[in-house]
Structure 1
């Protein structure tokens, strides 16, 4: 088999061109620092590197979302701290309002201060984060979740947000808290039953907030403690709305400061009632912290004939409900603090995961520069040797001898 000189030359030129292309490709890898620039360079490595890049992108997106949630939670925690301070100021004012020497002008001054604090509390409940989202709107809803509709007929504050809040995930945290659960679900009275004076009372009788002595004995019935004067002796009778007069509390002589217990309830009665006066005991429902403050304002401005008894009763009840509301604020603040701690842990975890994914991606597609430069020099040396040998072989022709 004969191989022509032209064919040999063509093969050599093709080989030189291929080596030049390989050298150029190696030079490009050194310039970019990438061993795998397209899938054909290393299909397996390219696929794994793309997978690592996708995971890295998701992790970085989770980090951005986490940082946004952390910022919102920090502002919410700060708002709850401010709300707690405002509640404490209200409490201090209520303590001073119990001063028996205060007249209408002093009580009016306290009432105005309480109104100002109430407005500040509503302002805190409507706080927004840096992105304009409400911090206490729950799952969404109105741009202003707490709307003050208080008027002469007394509608109070209305929650226009959506109750509830997003659950924390493995890589995410809620960006808003449920303001309804924080401020709008304060238990009335002592949390089990609520004591109040009948509007038609003319005496000075009032009660403590009461307490539960035997939870198992509580019936959930409405009770009325009525007073009647019999043979010059003031007596009281406890009547259930379901079963009628309560045994052991029918026509019992009354003395100021006495404590009575019936069907799991215990309460102290103070002051001197008038015949026909009545104290009502009703099962507790929920009120809101804004109404608690407004009830105190209304009590301080009460000018009825038995305003002293009504005021004492209202202030005692307000103090108890205010403490319960403060506990809910502190509970929410503690939850926000827990989430902030969790945000720090999640941030560290995802930062470490990002570093691992970047390392994995670099291992799969980056070029070892020392090895790359060494390979480039060897390829360059080989190309130079091939060019020189080709120049020498090209002269080996019959025409050179003929000449």
Structure 2
């Protein structure tokens, strides 16, 4: 077979260029650590790497949102813990002041302390996170949710929704609280009904107060107090040795109060220290029970009605107003004691509301932490898969590089030696 000089040059040059290209490719892999520098070399692996990169990007966004959600939830829980501590302090103050031996000056000092407690509660409810967003504004996180008015009332400017963040595929996590549910819509009394003393009691010589009471039959209580909106008036007669219970609808003592025939549902002698049972109808089974402390006198009356929402701020204000009252007679002292008793019942409900919200936040925080752990595991798994596809084996590539470099150098040396061969060198 005859090989022309031109063919030899062409073949040798093509071989060296191919070796040079291989060497350049190996050099690029060594410098970048990436085996897929040229997508055309392995289209399937390159497509898999791109898919894994997209998944890793999504997981990174989820993790960032997850961290933000955990920070907000931890902040909310911490603030509510402070609120709970503040409520406990106010409860202790109310118990201390609900004593006949407390002086008027002590009550005024306590009233001043309650003004500061109310301001502190508003400040806690207006807590902002690191981004300046209000954590108790619902979805209106850019708006200050609670505003203390000049008259001492607190107005809620947020909404009833919750702001959510996506912390995983298809998983939205509520990260803010609706301040209306936490601070504003707290059921008063014992959560089912309230007890209030008639205004006329302040002019009597009686010392009777009624506690928050208890529900004996929840079904009957719901039917009578919520569905039918019935109220019950307990009135003492004959120097407090007897009482009657009247049922009606509307506002007790107003023109709308329904006291038609048959509304007296119970009447009995009163034994000091006993609880009074309230039946739904005359002769019926008691479905409510209300304890009585002190000694009632003829004409003293109390009203039992369904619980209505009341804010924690209002409860603080009620205690401040009760402590600020300057009345000193038996009736005034009894009215103050009844007001403080009602405040203590409302504070119990407020504490229950706060603890319930804390429990909900704790459950969400635990879920966020579990999702974060899962996202971290998936991230490591995808990174490992991506590395197996795209990362080079340095020992293997270095060996291939050395082999290719040696082959290229040998080809270049052989080509140079063959290129110098000529028959004229052998003719002397």
Q: Name the structure 2 match of 1:7.
A: 7
- Please tell me whether the aligned partners of residues 141 and 162 of structure 1 are also in contact (alpha carbons under 8 angstroms): no
In the aligned structure 2, how far is the partner of 1:5 from the partner of 1:114?
Answer: 108
Partner SS state of residue 395, structure 2? helix
- Please tell me whether the aligned partners of residues 164 and 176 of structure 2 are also in contact (alpha carbons under 8 angstroms): no
CA distance 1:145–1:2, change in 2 (3 Å): same
Q: Name the structure 1 match of 2:321.
A: 298
1:51-76 deviations in Å (ceiling 9; x for gaps):
11111111112212211222222222
In the aligned structure 1, how far is the partner of 2:373 from the partner of 2:426?
Answer: 79
- Please tell me whether the aligned partners of residues 247 and 264 of structure 2 are also in contact (alpha carbons under 8 angstroms): no
Q: Give the counterpart of 1:309 among 331, 334, 338.
A: 334
Partner SS state of residue 157, structure 2? strand
In the aligned structure 2, how far is the partner of 1:209 from the partner of 1:128?
Answer: 36
Q: Does 1:41 align with 2:58?
A: no
- Please tell me whether the aligned partners of residues 137 and 179 of structure 2 are also in contact (alpha carbons under 8 angstroms): yes
Partner SS state of residue 143, structure 1? coil
- Please tell me whether the aligned partners of residues 29 and 367 of structure 1 are also in contact (alpha carbons under 8 angstroms): yes
- Please tell me whether the aligned partners of residues 93 and 114 of structure 1 are also in contact (alpha carbons under 8 angstroms): no
- Please tell me whether the aligned partners of residues 189 and 307 of structure 2 are also in contact (alpha carbons under 8 angstroms): yes
In the aligned structure 2, how far is the partner of 1:192 from the partner of 1:73?
Answer: 30
Deviation of 1:402 after TM superposition, in Å, equals 6.2
> TM-score w.r.t. structure 2 length?
0.85
Deviation of 1:387 after TM superposition, in Å, equals 1.8
In the aligned structure 2, how far is the partner of 1:23 from the partner of 1:319?
Answer: 84
Q: Name the structure 1 match of 2:375.
A: 350
Q: Counterparts of 1:197-276 in structure 2 under 5 Å?
A: 197-201=197-201, 202-203=203-204, 204=206, 205-218=208-221, 219-220=224-225, 221-229=230-238, 235-242=242-249, 244=260, 245-246=262-263, 249-250=266-267, 252-254=268-270, 256-262=272-278, 263=280, 264-273=287-296, 275-276=298-299
Q: Name the structure 1 match of 2:401.
A: 376
- Please tell me whether the aligned partners of residues 240 and 296 of structure 2 are also in contact (alpha carbons under 8 angstroms): no
Partner SS state of residue 249, structure 1? strand
- Please tell me whether the aligned partners of residues 127 and 134 of structure 1 are also in contact (alpha carbons under 8 angstroms): yes
Q: Name the structure 2 match of 1:159.
A: 156
1:59-111 deviations in Å (ceiling 9; x for gaps):
11221221122222222221111111111110110110012111221111111
In the aligned structure 2, how far is the partner of 1:148 from the partner of 1:361?
Answer: 56
In the aligned structure 1, how far is the partner of 2:72 from the partner of 2:233?
Answer: 49
1:215-270 deviations in Å (ceiling 9; x for gaps):
233311022223455xx8865332211574545524x4455444321221222344
Deviation of 1:3 after TM superposition, in Å, equals 5.8
CA distance 1:17–1:168, change in 2 (3 Å): closer
Deviation of 1:173 after TM superposition, in Å, equals 3.6
CA distance 1:44–1:367, change in 2 (3 Å): same
Structure 1 gaps, min length 5: none
- Please tell me whether the aligned partners of residues 189 and 349 of structure 2 are also in contact (alpha carbons under 8 angstroms): no
CA distance 1:210–1:100, change in 2 (3 Å): same
1:123-181 deviations in Å (ceiling 9; x for gaps):
11111111111122222255211112261xx6x22221121324675636433222222
Deviation of 1:277 after TM superposition, in Å, equals 4.0
Deviation of 1:394 after TM superposition, in Å, equals 2.3
Q: Counterparts of 1:376-395 in structure 2 under 5 Å?
A: 376-395=401-420
Choose 350-359 or 4-13, whichever is displaced more. 4-13
Q: Name the structure 1 match of 2:283.
A: none
In the aligned structure 1, how far is the partner of 2:218 from the partner of 2:367?
Answer: 38
Deviation of 1:196 after TM superposition, in Å, equals 0.7
In the aligned structure 1, how far is the partner of 2:161 from the partner of 2:232?
Answer: 35
Partner SS state of residue 144, structure 1? coil
- Please tell me whether the aligned partners of residues 142 and 161 of structure 1 are also in contact (alpha carbons under 8 angstroms): no
Choose 283-292 or 391-400, whichever is displaced more. 391-400
Q: Name the structure 1 match of 2:253.
A: none
Aligned Cα RMSD in Å?
A: 2.5
Partner SS state of residue 112, structure 2? helix
Deviation of 1:200 after TM superposition, in Å, equals 2.9
Choose 286-295 or 256-265, whichever is displaced more. 256-265
